[in-house]
Structure 1
């Protein structure tokens, strides 16, 4: 299937998804949302897939929401209904296989929130992270107020969410936002090595393990 804003490739048991709007820093728009929703919706049914690898095309991972779309929805009610119907964030959170994000360059706003819906994040030395919503008078719309405190301690979460300041990959690593920092030339290789280890594990075990790990946040422990 051909997409406008993402590239998708299946290599062995790994599904590689590349955010593909490099001319504008892979800015997240409604077309990208719908295409990612379609791709992640297929993962549940393709049992050959054991891992997902998420990249950004060009120099950046994702520079945040496409601001040219702000205020273009016909109505707030309609926008809310569309978000419910195409709830990408919940779909990613419930993805039955591990998601690994390989982050380079700028990772801003929606980019941070997409990365935080991944299970493992590695970053290049040049990566920068920022949640700019406070300076815009906005609240992170893709679950950042939930996923940031789940990922880092509460003090770091407040700092990231309230100040909107930019942090380096090394600072992000110190906070626990990413699990490792690598040279940009090794980013793809390091990410692929992680998926190679994961792909050796049966898919049903990966799904169960993810559910057990996430049970403390999803409230689903009583089903396990």
Structure 2
């Protein structure tokens, strides 16, 4: 797959997508959104890919935010359309049916932080800096940040970050729950690949089922959410992978997943 603003490679069931605009700190412009949509659509339908890693080229940034030149040219109508476009692409990443691990190296600000929050798991380098500084531009986060950030870190911490526009370091991001692990820069991608490998070794339909259950159950009352879980559990009980998994356990051997 060839892209102008991204790199994509697949190795042993793990895809690595790299935002490749290091000269502008991997800022998110219209072309980046188009190519993110294209690559995640392709990877979602590729049965050979079990886990996706998402990172930024260079050591300075995961993604430093939206392209300010494009933002400056928006009005009320085009601004709403731009927000809806970004929300749609990030929602695609969030619901692509496969785990997406954000590997945050350096700045993840504004749209970059929102992109990381759309991922399933977030690993951060010790040098990472995260934040939602849109208020400094007279704006609010527009790519899902006002909704995902409170869900991750709680209402008060989310509003503190959004209202002050402050950047926080990796240690503080870990403390409040914005990232899941913090690592030395040289260990970031190795740890991401290790985690991805552990997930890729699991039954692919079960992994997808976990993602689906959490996604569909989010926002439901507990009783309705339990019904969603039971339906997915029942569906998986009828799969070849469930038969293989239980047989392998009883026979004390490693399972061989078929994805069906």
TM range (shorter): over 0.9
TM-score, normalising length from structure 1?
Answer: 0.92
Looking at CA atoms only, which structure, 1 or 2, has the larger radius of gyration? 2
**Number of the residue aligned with 1:12:** 12
Contact 1:44 1:95 in 2 (8 A): yes
Give 3-state SS (helix, strand or coil) of 2:63's partner: coil
Give 3-state SS (helix, strand or coil) of 1:87's partner: helix
Give 1:30-109 correspondences, 5 Å limit. Answer: 30-59=30-59, 60-72=61-73, 76=77, 80=81, 83=84, 87-109=88-110
CA distance in 1 between counterparts of 2:140 and 2:108 reads 17
Give the direction of change, closer, same or farther, for the CA distance of 1:140–1:34 in structure 2 (3 Å limit). Answer: same
Give the direction of change, closer, same or farther, for the CA distance of 1:78–1:175 in structure 2 (3 Å limit). Answer: closer
Give the direction of change, closer, same or farther, for the CA distance of 1:204–1:196 in structure 2 (3 Å limit). Answer: same
Deviation at 1:81?
Answer: 8.3
Contact 1:16 1:54 in 2 (8 A): yes
Gaps of 5+ in 2: 232-260
CA distance in 1 between counterparts of 2:110 and 2:82 reads 22
**Number of the residue aligned with 1:145:** 146
- Aligned-residue CA RMSD in angstroms? 2.2
CA distance in 1 between counterparts of 2:124 and 2:113 reads 12
Please say if 1:186 is aligned against 2:171: no
**Number of the residue aligned with 2:125:** 124
Q: Spell out, residue by residue over 1:145-174, the C-alpha distance to the aligned partner (whole angstroms, 9 max, x if none).
A: 111011112221111121110101000000
Contact 1:28 1:62 in 2 (8 A): yes
Contact 1:92 1:117 in 2 (8 A): yes
Contact 1:47 1:203 in 2 (8 A): no
Deviation at 1:75?
Answer: 8.3
Q: Spell out, residue by residue over 1:35-78, the C-alpha distance to the aligned partner (whole angstroms, 9 max, x if none).
A: 00001111231111111100110021111001121244698259
CA distance in 2 between counterparts of 1:47 and 1:170 reads 36
Contact 2:87 2:143 in 1 (8 A): no
May I ask how many residue pairs the two structures share in their alignment? 224
Give 3-state SS (helix, strand or coil) of 1:89's partner: helix
Give 3-state SS (helix, strand or coil) of 1:26's partner: coil
Instruction: Answer 1 or 2: which has greater helix percent.
Output: 2
**Number of the residue aligned with 2:213:** 212
Give the direction of change, closer, same or farther, for the CA distance of 1:206–1:170 in structure 2 (3 Å limit). Answer: same
CA distance in 1 between counterparts of 2:183 and 2:174 reads 11
CA distance in 1 between counterparts of 2:82 and 2:67 reads 20
Contact 2:83 2:143 in 1 (8 A): no
